[in-house]
């Protein structure tokens, strides 16, 4: 098996371990999918306490189907881990919903730095996020974010400048979802909270839906919602991380499963039945491989 990395990463002769790694502009850590997990340290008490949550980072290597816990995030004052993106330098950008804050995390040691993102000022609300190459094989990338329009389920797409933290709105699309990007300049959304569970490719300029894939197979219960979900592009396929509310209510020891969607055929296969984690975010850089041969 051979891997063709995204961006400036190496050559097609490198094997699937990516030991040679993506070349300039890419850190070694930027080759894999990183998962954001959620655990209650103290359960919330209605009307009394919002609870205390814990966030951890797990590295997922799709070619080996291995999950490696990297440790706990200790971002000061942060609560409610919700979404994550990974840049080409090997840093994760983690959004905490409860405190409406974004932190920049070094994936080598999980050191955490607050950013100047001001959720109260932007009033963007809960977001999904992903870095996307500016064009195919470009070394430059942009952070895209997605949120809900008011209290509706309509999605909104924007970019977030990681220097000024200014938001540039691009457009609206049916059904809010989490985001992933890739090294060929595409941005995708994954709607999983309620049926129909689908993946959409979005036009980066105006959020028009360009392509759609069904993800109904991951949960056939039409009345079930998601108890944590995320997705990421790697090696030409989409990896879906999902646990249903119904499954969790029936057995609270269950964890997120992992599925792989092949965009050439639209077929979905289960990769990992029980990941051992409640996955609420997934980040992959534009250095990750765009094709596996």
Helix (H) or strand (E) segment spanning residue 233 = strand 226-234
Read off the tokens for 275: 């990941």
The Cα–Cα gap between 212 and 204 comes to 15
For residue 139, give the DSSP letter: S
Sign of the CA dihedral running 145, 151, 153, 155: negative
**Burial category of 256 from C-beta neighbours within 10 Å (exposed 0-12, middle 13-18, buried 19 and up):** buried
**Where does residue 16 fall: left (phi above 0), alpha (psi -120 to 50 degrees), or beta otherwise?**
alpha
End-to-end CA distance of the chain: 6
**All structural domains of the chain with their residue ranges:** 3-292
One pLDDT digit (tens) per residue for the chain, 293 residues: 434 444 433 322 334 444 333 344 788 888 999 999 998 888 888 888 888 889 999 999 999 999 999 999 999 988 889 999 999 999 999 999 999 999 999 999 999 999 999 998 999 988 999 999 999 878 899 999 999 988 888 899 999 999 999 999 999 998 888 999 999 999 999 998 888 899 999 999 999 999 999 999 998 776 667 888 999 999 999 999 999 878 778 888 899 999 999 999 999 999 999 999 999 999 999 999 988 65
Architecture of the domain delimited by 3-292 = 6 Propeller (2.120)
Task: For residue 125, report the phi and psi dihedrals to the nearest 5 degrees.
Answer: 85, -170
Nearest of 291, 293, 288, 286 to residue 135 by alpha carbon: 286
The radius of gyration of the chain from alpha carbons, rounded to an integer in Å, stands at 18
The two three-digit tokens of residue 41, written as one number: 């340290």
């Amino acid at each position: 098996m051979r891997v063709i990395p995204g961006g400036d990463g190496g050559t097609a002769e490198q094997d699937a371990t990516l030991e040679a790694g993506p070349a300039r502009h890419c850190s070694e850590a930027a080759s894999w999918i990183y998962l954001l997990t959620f655990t209650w340290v103290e359960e919330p008490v209605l009307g009394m306490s919002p609870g205390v949550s814990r966030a951890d980072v797990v590295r997922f290597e799709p070619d080996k189907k291995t999950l490696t816990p990297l440790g706990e995030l200790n971002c000061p004052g942060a609560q409610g881990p919700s979404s994550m993106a990974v840049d080409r330098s090997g840093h994760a950008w983690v959004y905490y919903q409860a405190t409406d804050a974004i932190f920049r995390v070094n994936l080598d040691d999980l050191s955490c730095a607050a950013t100047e993102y001001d959720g109260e000022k932007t009033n963007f609300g809960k977001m999904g996020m992903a870095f996307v190459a500016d064009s195919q094989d470009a070394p430059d990338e942009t952070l895209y974010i997605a949120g809900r329009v008011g209290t509706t389920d309509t999605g909104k797409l924007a970019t977030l400048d990681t220097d000024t933290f200014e938001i540039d709105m691009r457009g609206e699309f049916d059904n809010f979802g989490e985001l992933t990007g890739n090294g060929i300049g595409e941005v995708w959304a994954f709607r999983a909270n309620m049926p129909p569970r689908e993946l959409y490719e979005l036009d980066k300029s105006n959020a028009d839906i360009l392509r759609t894939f069904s993800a109904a197979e991951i949960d056939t219960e039409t009345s079930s919602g998601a108890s944590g979900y995320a997705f990421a592009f790697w090696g030409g396929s989409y990896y879906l991380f999902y646990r249903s509310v119904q499954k969790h209510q029936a057995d609270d020891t269950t964890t997120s499963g992992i599925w792989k969607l092949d965009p050439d055929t639209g077929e979905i296969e289960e990769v990992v039945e029980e990941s051992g984690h409640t996955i609420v975010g997934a980040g992959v850089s534009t250095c990750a491989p765009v094709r596996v041969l």
